């Protein structure tokens, strides 16, 4: 049976300091598996990337990893993925990840995570795709960035409608359920029970 939905997750190749980041990654991976979904991600085994992939696999999800050859050579690939695609460049990787996803979700992470998130957000504002995008603000990690972006709206470098293109939440199951629903796909979770 094909997966009910496919979520592309961007997250840190490091675990970060706060244990709540790891808890959030576990919750995301488990939810995707429990709801019959598929995880698409950067194919790494370290940090939150490895946590979300292992949790998804353990919960029965299909896991699609897309990783550039250079990172495979550094032995950073997760060889347990259901599908592991080794591509030539970061551009090929990001294109394939975006194509294979129904929705995007960013967890806490560093510049790689931010770059990937901002790219799909920018593509969305230009109308290159209409897939939902979520920001999991686990343990308030993104509070300062969200404040900065509110300032960018105040300074009129962006409009409020651009902020409205991303969904923000601190609760992983609620955010995932909303993203899947917004993509027009189904899950079995009851939103009023989350």
Return the structure tokens found at 94: 């990001």
Q: 20 Cβ partners below 8 Å, 6+ apart?
A: 138, 139
80 binds ligand AMP (CB under 6 A): no
* Nearest-angstrom CA–CA distance, 125 and 152: 16
* Nearest-angstrom CA–CA distance, 34 and 41: 18
151 binds ligand AMP (CB under 6 A): no
| Cβ 159 to ligand AMP shortest distance, Å | 27
| Cβ 20 to ligand AMP shortest distance, Å | 17
Q: Which is nearer to ligand AMP, 36 or 71 (CB)?
A: 71
Q: 76 Cβ partners below 8 Å, 6+ apart?
A: 13, 44, 45, 46, 67
Which stretch, 18-26, 36-44, 81-89, 178-186, contacts ligand AMP (CB under 6 A)?
A: 36-44
Q: For the chain, percent helix, then strand, then coil, each to nearest 5?
A: 45, 20, 35
Q: Which is nearer to ligand AMP, 10 or 135 (CB)?
A: 10
One character per residue 42-61, x = contact with ligand AMP (rule: CB under 6 A): xxx-x--x------------
Q: Tell me which residues in 6-25 interact with ligand AMP (CB under 6 A).
A: 10-14
| Cβ 155 to ligand AMP shortest distance, Å | 26
Among the listed residues 28, 67, 179, 183, the single contact to ligand AMP using CB under 6 A: 67
Cα–Cα distances in angstroms (integers) from residue 98 to residues 11, 57, 130, in the given order: 15, 20, 11
Q: Which parts of this chain interact with ligand AMP (CB under 6 A)?
A: 10-14, 42-44, 46, 49, 67, 71, 76, 109-113, 116
């Amino acid at each position: 049976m094909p997966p009910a939905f496919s979520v592309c997750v961007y997250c840190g190749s490091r675990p970060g300091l706060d244990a709540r980041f790891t808890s959030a990654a576990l919750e995301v991976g488990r939810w995707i598996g429990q709801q019959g979904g598929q995880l698409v991600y950067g194919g790494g085994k370290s940090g939150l990337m490895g946590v979300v992939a292992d949790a998804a696999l353990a919960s029965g999800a299909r896991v699609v990893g897309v990783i550039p050859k250079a990172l495979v050579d550094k032995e950073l690939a997760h060889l347990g993925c259901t599908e592991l695609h080794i591509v030539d460049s970061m551009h090929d990787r990001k294109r394939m990840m975006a194509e294979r996803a129904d929705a995007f979700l960013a967890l806490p992470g560093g510049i790689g995570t931010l770059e990937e998130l901002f790219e799909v957000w920018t593509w969305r504002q230009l109308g290159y795709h209409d897939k939902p995008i979520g920001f999991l603000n686990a343990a308030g990690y993104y509070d300062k960035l969200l404040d900065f972006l509110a300032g960018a709206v105040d300074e009129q470098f962006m409009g409020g409608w651009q902020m409205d293109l991303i969904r923000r939440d601190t609760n992983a199951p609620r955010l995932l359920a909303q993203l899947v629903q917004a993509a027009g796909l189904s899950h079995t979770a009851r939103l009023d029970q989350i």
